[in-house]
Amino acid sequence: MATLEVEFKNLLTVTEYDELRQAYSFGQPFLQQNYYFDTPNRLLQQAHCGMRIRLFVDYAEQTLKVPAPISTPAKHQLYELTDRLTLKQAAKLLDQHQILMTGQSAKALTNYQISPNQLKLIGQGTTKRQIAKLPVGDLTLDRTYYPNDAQDFELELETTDPTQAGTFYQTLLQQHQIPQRPRVNKVARAVQEFEHDFKRN
């Protein structure tokens, strides 16, 4: 079953990140290890989709994100198809640079004329995430580290009420004098760092 993800997103400087951490009551940080997949000729990217395997402390999951044909004030709205994995399953898949070939996320690839065995690992990153539960939704701060030692910072507001959340989000940016920056999703950033590191070496 697909779940709808509606988020407002913005990249941050380290100074903005630290300021927001002090401004809201965030929960304890936790780590997510993210591994991103696509075909060699980037068919998923061309279809505005994304496939990842994400590792948590005690389980993992494989998720396909596909465009959601809806209109909201948020510029980021996707349907997520997720299959839960054990850490042992995920480790075996990642060792082979493959995704799980069964389950709803892989089966949905046929809608885009893509076979699961076409997908290869194209990037990875480890995110330190903190979440503040607010009336308008989950306010999230992410600090993501890449294998080449690069890192970046991101603000996300995930919501079920895009109109109210959009107003809050714009006010937050104005209050903290944070400019609205062009959106580059985590997949694209991980791939950029992966390719940059590959060319450097």
Question: Per residue of the chain (201 residues), what is the pLDDT tens digit?
Answer: 678 888 999 999 999 999 999 999 999 999 999 999 999 999 999 999 999 999 999 999 999 999 887 666 566 678 999 999 999 999 999 999 999 999 999 999 999 999 999 999 999 999 999 999 999 999 999 999 999 889 999 999 999 999 999 999 999 999 999 999 987 767 777 777 665 544 444
Among residues 149, 148, 165, the alpha carbon closest in space to that of 157 is found at 165
Instruction: Provide CATH code, domain 3-200.
Output: 2.40.320.10
What is the total residue count of the chain?
A: 201
Beta bridge partners of 151: 145
Q: 0.95 cut: is pTM over it? A: no
Give the separation between CA 114 and CA 108, rounded to whole angstroms.
Answer: 9
- Rama region for 151: left / alpha / beta (φ>0; ψ in -120 to 50; rest): beta
β-pairing, 60-67 with 76-85? antiparallel
